[in-house]
Structure 1
């Protein structure tokens, strides 16, 4: 149980730290947020838990392919905000568009025989 608390605390502290740093410097916050910390932490926790390098390899490959559709959020959100749309509406629509892009990417990859 304490191991899970360490995992939760470590992950939470990183997210809160990035959020606080972003308030002071959007550039530094963006650099830290763009580093795939969540993916690296997931890979680390899986390795510690299972030592299964094949699972880690599969996860890393899947993350690679799924980073591409996730970029839709970062493309659409600022454009909606610049056009004066409400923040929460912009975030929700950007998220919905990103979900659609994920489904499209998985469908395209499946068509070409790439299994995630």
Structure 2
């Protein structure tokens, strides 16, 4: 249980630190947030937990393919906000569109024989 707590605390500290930096500089916050910290942490935790480089490789491959549909959120959310959509609604809309983009990407990849 202590190990999971350590993982959660380290991950939470990074997320909070990025949000605090972003209050002062959206550029620096954006740079830190765009670095795949979550993905790197997930791969590290997966390797530490399993020692299985095959699982780490599969996760990295899935992340690589799913970066493109994840961009929908980062393009759509500011577009909606600049048009006056309230933040909570805009966020829900952007997340929903991103979920659809993920589904579409998985379907397209499956047509080419790529299974994530």
* Secondary structure in 2 matching 1:19: helix
Query: Which consecutive unaligned segments of at least 5 residues does structure 1 have?
Result: none
Match of 2:70?
A: 70
Unpaired runs of at least 5, structure 2: none
Query: Following the alignment from structure 2 to structure 1, what is the Cα–Cα distance between the partners of residues 37 and 60?
Result: 13
Task: Calculate the TM-score normalised by the size of structure 2.
Answer: 0.98
Q: Identify the residue that residue 88 of structure 2 maps to in structure 1.
A: 88
Q: CA deviation at 1:53?
A: 0.2
Distance 2:28 2:55 in 1: 32
3-state secondary structure, aligned to 2:63: helix
Q: How many residues align?
A: 116
Distance 1:89 1:54 in 2: 39
Q: Normalising by structure 1, report the TM-score.
A: 0.98
1:34 matched residue in structure 2: 34
Is the partner of 1:42 in helix, strand or coil?
helix
- Coordinate RMSD, CA, aligned: 0.5
Q: Partners in 1 of 2:47 and 2:58 — Cα distance?
A: 12
The one-character-per-residue Cα deviations of 1:58-115 (angstroms, maximum 9, x if unpaired) are 0000000011100000011111111111111111101100000000000000010001
Q: CA deviation at 1:2?
A: 1.1
